[in-house]
A = this chain, B = another copy of it.
Amino acid sequence: MDDFVFYSPTRFVFGRNTETQVGELVKSYGGKKVLIHYGGGSVVRSGLLGRVIKSLDEAAIAHVELGGVKPNPRSDLVYEGIDFARKEGVDFILAVGGGSVIDSAKAIALGVVYDGDFADYYFGKETKNPKAVPASLPIGTVLTIAAAGSEGSPNSVITLEGDLKRACTGEVLRPKFSILNPELTLTLPLYQVACGLTDMFAHVVERYFTPTRDVTITDEMCEAIMRTIVSEGEKAISEPNNYEARANIMWAGTVAHNNVCGVGRVQDWSSHAIEHELSALYDCAHGAGLAVVMPAWMEYVMNTDVARFARFAERVFGVKDADEVTTAKAGIKAYRTWLRKIGMPLSFSELGAKAEDIPFLVKKLNLSGNTLGSFRPLKDEDVAEIYKLACIEH
């Protein structure tokens, strides 16, 4: 078991109507003027933005708004948000939305207090020792989709100039509070729900397949969360009004990424990096890209540790075959079957991606001679092979 620090200081306020507490929560963390950051019109139409504003007004918290965050959030709106927040003298950033909105809010929060270009802190796989963000405005969230886990994580992913999808990290970026009301997710399009399920499942997979494996508690926690996502996720798709299923996956999405299931060992994260090139180039949903990439990654690296994949098959999907190899393969197949069942694409073509772009995708990933991931460190040619496997129709 490797040494680690576990620190998850976010206050998670979970349940029905919890958005009505947002004003008091901002006040308790010292916020006096809030930038409310959000995406498209659904937050306005549903009345959620109105309820948030009402709560802030009741707590006598001043506020300004900046909407327009798109999936795979871009740096141009971040720059606009930084200028706007500075001009308005904002001291607290409130994200009302999903992972894209929260990530954009984090970028603004760090940019407001930083003299240079906020993008200085966003790095690719080429950066060996990324610099953690040292300071930011405090951030709060009202989550509207169970997916990215950004509501409890220290990370933010932004697509910079040149379609470069890059990440940054820093403990200061963990939200002070996150409001999780499963009712807010009941009206989401089911495709978005499924993308969210795929993303949170992938967050656990990245922590489960690692070269340091003798951590019983972490394995057990990973498997517990993956089984929950599989069973409750299916239920959320087949019974869209099932509050219990929505509540289970909402909390699963948070614990899948606040690192409680990732302590004590090295993690992988290569599938995320390989996927980011797809959603940056084709503007597909990150979850959909992961549904295409991650099973392909599994097929490619399975032989590195067949026993591990057999355990995944048995404990997560309950499948067991004659021997370890066939069990391991059956597990990957069961994973794809689940992805298909919840409505995810499984190949490049379904995603709008093109096999002829593979050399460009690999170049854009820019490993610069370094390797990617830890379970099986990948070189450029390995990544190309994984993209090729992702082209196969299922």
Given the known inter-chain contacts A15-B3, A18-B3, please indicate yes or no for A220 contacting B225, CB distance below 8 A.
yes
A14 lies within 8 A of B7 (CB): no
- Complex interface: chain B residues within 8 A of A247 (CB): 1, 215, 264
Q: Which of A1-58 contact B (CB under 8 A)?
A: 1-16, 18
A245 nearest in chain B by CB position: B216
List which A225-269 residues lie within 8 A (CB) of chain B: 225, 227-228, 231-232, 243-244, 247-248, 251-252, 255, 260, 263-264
In Å, the complex CA distance between A215 and B246 comes to: 11
Question: Do A6 and B12 contact each other (CB < 8 Å), given the known contacts A227-B220, A248-B217, A255-B260?
Answer: yes
- A221 and B263 CA atoms in complex are apart in Å by 15
How many Å from the CB of A69 to the closest CB on chain B? 26
Q: Is the CB of B264 within 8 A of A1?
A: no
Minimal beta-carbon separation of A105 from chain B (angstroms)? 21
CB distance from A320 to the nearest CB of B (A): 15
CB distance from A151 to the nearest CB of B (A): 12
Contact of A7 among B12, B223, B255, B264 (CB under 8 A): B12
23 A/B residue pairs, CB under 8 Å, sorted by A: A1-B247, A2-B15, A3-B14, A3-B15, A4-B15, A6-B11, A7-B12, A8-B8, A8-B9, A9-B9, A9-B11, A14-B263, A215-B247, A216-B228, A216-B232, A217-B225, A217-B228, A220-B228, A221-B221, A221-B225, A223-B224, A247-B264, A260-B260
A residues apposed to B, CB below 8 Å = 1-16, 18, 182, 214-217, 220-221, 223-225, 227-228, 231-232, 243-244, 247-248, 251-252, 255, 260, 263-264
